[in-house]
Amino acid sequence: MIKTKIGIVGYGNLGRGVEKGIKLCADMELVGIFTRRDPKNIDSDSPVYNINEILEFKDKIDVLILCGGSANDIPEQAPILAKDFNTVDSFDNHKFIPQYYKKMDEIAKNNENVSVISSGWDPGLFSINRILSEAILPDGENYTFWGKGVSQGHSDAIRRIEGVKSAIQYTIPNQDMIDDIGSGKDVEYESHNAHKRDCYVVLEEGYDEDQIRESIVNMPEYFAGYETTVNFINQDEFDKNHRGMPHGGQVIRRGYTSDENLALYKFSLELGSNPEFTASVNIAYARACHRLALEKKYGAYTVIDIAPIYLSPKSDEEIRKMI
Amino acid sequence: MIKTKIGIVGYGNLGRGVEKGIKLCADMELVGIFTRRDPKNIDSDSPVYNINEILEFKDKIDVLILCGGSANDIPEQAPILAKDFNTVDSFDNHKFIPQYYKKMDEIAKNNENVSVISSGWDPGLFSINRILSEAILPDGENYTFWGKGVSQGHSDAIRRIEGVKSAIQYTIPNQDMIDDIGSGKDVEYESHNAHKRDCYVVLEEGYDEDQIRESIVNMPEYFAGYETTVNFINQDEFDKNHRGMPHGGQVIRRGYTSDENLALYKFSLELGSNPEFTASVNIAYARACHRLALEKKYGAYTVIDIAPIYLSPKSDEEIRKMI
């Protein structure tokens, strides 16, 4: 069994998920967590170092898993770290993936490293299924539904409203539309009619529920145009029932294999913890990343550039028995 | 766009499915159908040739899709044809895949060809999902359910009983068990309690329903141990409602990303026509086969050895925009 030595960069929810996930993998070893904060302030049993020390670990780490955010951290850190390390990230800004790929591919090739970008579930496993299903069923249509799950972006948007103490937003897929797709009925899929939004909000004292509700449901880009429900609750109930980070979703392709015959291809996830599952996907792609580097296949890869066999810790012979 | 010139070997349900599916792919061209029968007796608008003429097409065909049966046709034909052609087959005898892979890999490498073996949905897409989900969620369990769909093997077994004129068997997955898996409950998955069997039978005149029912439900290896329902119907109803070949199924992995959090990974198919969908998968892997051959990556491949990007007719740049 090939052992893969991992470094975690960034210790938020995703970094903690990677730390937990590595413990479930006999072929993985965590060398250390690297943070911009003072290592003394990080609550973890694993070795923790300041990010400035990372180059000292160049020969002790096989793959770095980058656990920062896609808005600022990854675009800044990944191009630098890919010069000295193999990397896996979950850069999730779909629009910028092509140009990010190009940049990382050049750096990784020039420095004889492997960088797996945009791993996770969307982008990630959902991308694989969108592309595979389209290739198999060319006469058809793809539909992606998210939820039921917590959208951090929408929760943050509510929290920015004055008077809001705590808030969480659940994205709920339109089950009627999913059923219609399955039964072959025509649907008009638009993000705003394919999903609705459920909000749970705790107010500071002295603020008016109706006024805050209006601010939420009419918020452009986030809520306007969506069926939105706002539930006001107290802090105790919030802490008791709304501290988890569940998510999930489904990719459906409805295609025709001939004029008479419908084929329904469906991939779905129901996740108790979104960051822990994303971490689990990143760990599997870290395994692939290490192997590609051992085979000197340098450059950048997205999930669709990697054969499934690279993700499994089993030997080729063992895997072929599972086919 | 790379054009792929296809030859079909064998013209049963699967071969007809490939013929239909190619028409949906702008990058595919059908060169001909090759059969052991007299081409004059084949009802098709496509060019049809006797299998003995196939070597004359060595330079006119990029990939042969082998559409014979796994019991006798493929084990006999594939090793011979892989000497002169790139091939795709849907060899589905799981137990023999490792040794079949080894044999085909040697032949394909020695003759500088590419052979994709055991394409389809199970083995095939289901294998990909069993292996991917296990790699991502090491602390978990895989469950495969088949149906609702027609099992040809079980239908054939009923038809071999004296007095049976027509028969079809539908495999039905145990929805209660699927729900229990989803909700985290313990289940005792065994093929015989995870599925039940629904049979529709037309009798010859003068045969006894109760006697035939007993023969079916007690048939060892096929029905004994399963919850089996036998419905006797007349030939008109059979012809009207039971001539299709629907199938489907699902691969579920239930795993834990930490002590607290469950993750449910589910891949499912609902197919109006089993052979047409299997054909559609084979066509996508024929595209991959051709590209691997153009890259001189000779040898045998299963679906898990091929990166998803090889299956799409789109350019790498177009695909990265879909991620």
Q: Is the pTM of this model over 0.90?
A: yes
pLDDT at B191 over 90: no
Give the model's pLDDT for residue B84. Answer: 98
B130–A contact, CB cutoff 8 A: yes
% of chain B residues with pLDDT over 70 = 100
Q: Is B239 exposed, middle or buried (0-12, 13-18, 19+ CB in 10 A)?
A: exposed
B1–A contact, CB cutoff 8 A: no
Q: Is residue B287 within 8 Å of residue B314, measured between CB atoms?
A: no
Query: Which residues of A fall within a CB distance of 8 Å from B303?
Result: 308, 323
Q: A86-89 and A28-35 as β-strands: parallel, antiparallel, unpaired?
A: unpaired
Residue A13 neighbours by CB distance under 10 Å = 16
What Cα–Cα distance (Å) separates residue A307 from each residue in A37, A291, B94, B96, B279? 37, 12, 20, 22, 21
CA distance A160 to chain B (A): 29
Cβ distance of B134 and A306 shorter than 8 Å: no
Residue A234 neighbours by CB distance under 10 Å = 12
Q: Which two tokens stand for residue B232?
A: 């006797």
The nearest alpha carbon in chain B to A182 belongs to B270
> What mean pLDDT do residues A141-170 have?
95
Eight-state DSSP code of residue B52: G
Picking from B133, B98, B88, the residue whose alpha carbon sits closest to that of residue B281 is: B88
Q: Is residue B86 within 8 Å of residue B63, measured between CB atoms?
A: yes
% of chain B residues with pLDDT over 90 = 96
Which of B81-93 are b and which e, b meaning 16 or more Cβ less than 10 Å from the residue's Cβ? bbebbbbbbbbbe
Query: How far apart are alpha carbons A185 and B222 in whole angstroms?
Result: 37
A21–B contact, CB cutoff 8 A: yes
> What φ, ψ does residue A226 adopt, rounded to 5°?
-100, 150
> What mean pLDDT do residues B68-87 have?
96
Cβ distance of A257 and B305 shorter than 8 Å: no
Best of A4, A143, A274, A280 to mutate (most B CBs within 10 Å, chain B): A280
> What mean pLDDT do residues B212-224 have?
95
Evaluated on CA atoms B78, B80, B81, B83, the torsion sign reads positive
Q: Which two tokens stand for residue A205?
A: 């004292």
Give the model's pLDDT for residue B116. Answer: 98
> What mean pLDDT do residues B110-114 have?
98
The nearest alpha carbon in chain B to A273 belongs to B261
Picking from B313, B28, B248, the residue whose alpha carbon sits closest to that of residue A262 is: B248
Query: How far apart are alpha carbons A176 and A197 in whole angstroms?
Result: 15
CA distance A79 to chain B (A): 19
Cβ distance of B284 and A260 shorter than 8 Å: no
Picking from A103, A107, A116, the residue whose alpha carbon sits closest to that of residue A6 is: A116
Per-residue model confidence as pLDDT tens digits over A187-244:
999 988 999 999 999 999 999 999 999 999 999 989 999 999 999 999 999 999 999 9
Nearest CB to B21: which of A125, A127, A257?
A: A257
The nearest alpha carbon in chain A to B313 belongs to A135
Cβ distance of A130 and B322 shorter than 8 Å: yes
Judged by DSSP in three states, A262 sits in strand
> What mean pLDDT do residues B132-142 have?
98
Query: Which residues of B fall within a CB distance of 8 Å from A279?
Result: 257
Mean pLDDT (chain A) is 96
Per-residue model confidence as pLDDT tens digits over A129-149:
999 999 999 999 999 999 999
Evaluated on CA atoms A11, A12, A14, A16, the torsion sign reads positive
Give contacts of B 301-320 with A, CB under 8 A.
302-309, 311-313, 317, 319-320
Q: Is residue B33 within 8 Å of residue B48, measured between CB atoms?
A: yes
Q: Is B212 exposed, middle or buried (0-12, 13-18, 19+ CB in 10 A)?
A: buried
B260–A contact, CB cutoff 8 A: yes
Evaluated on CA atoms B310, B315, B316, B319, the torsion sign reads negative
Q: Identify the band that residue A184 occupies on the pLDDT scale cut at 50, 70 and 90.
A: confident
